[in-house]
Amino acid sequence: MLKAGDKLPAFSGLNQEGETVKSSDFKGKKLVVFFYPQANTPTCTVEACNLSDNYSELEKAGYKLLGISADSVKKQKNFHTKYSFPYDVIADENREIIQKFGVWQEKKTFGKTYMGIVRTTFIFNEDGICVRVIDKVKSKEAAAQILEN
């Protein structure tokens, strides 16, 4: 998994509109990349809505946001439209970006072991250097976790 001090990996993916979004689009900007297991599931919705509800505060702090999951563009579009997110969500169906960040890992739920996306938030500075990794994301406090120093 990417860690503090690592450089933002070069990537491109399709957003909810089917438009290409590239890591280079955020050059010179502070960027928050948050990975969530699946669009429109309860915990992911709470996290994404918390970030949306606090978007103006995050923006005031200079952050751009980007959500990423392995869902299809269609599922991301539905999720984005349903909750009117002010930021893009990326459909990474082939898990290329997910693999670059190292968030595709073994998980355990109810005694079952499987591979999936580990809910993680990465914060990058204007130089594209990871300054913090939040690996214990609290969905109801996602924005507050990003804003704390």
Q: Are strands 130-134 and 12-15 parallel, antiparallel or unpaired?
A: unpaired
Kindly list the catalytic residues: 44
Task: State the Cα torsion 143-19-99-138 to the nearest 10°.
Answer: 10
Q: Using CA atoms of 136, 131, 55, 145 in order, give the dihedral in degrees to the nearest 10.
A: 30
Q: Which string of DSSP letters, residue by residue, matches 104-126?
A: EEEEEETTEEEEEE--EEEEE-T
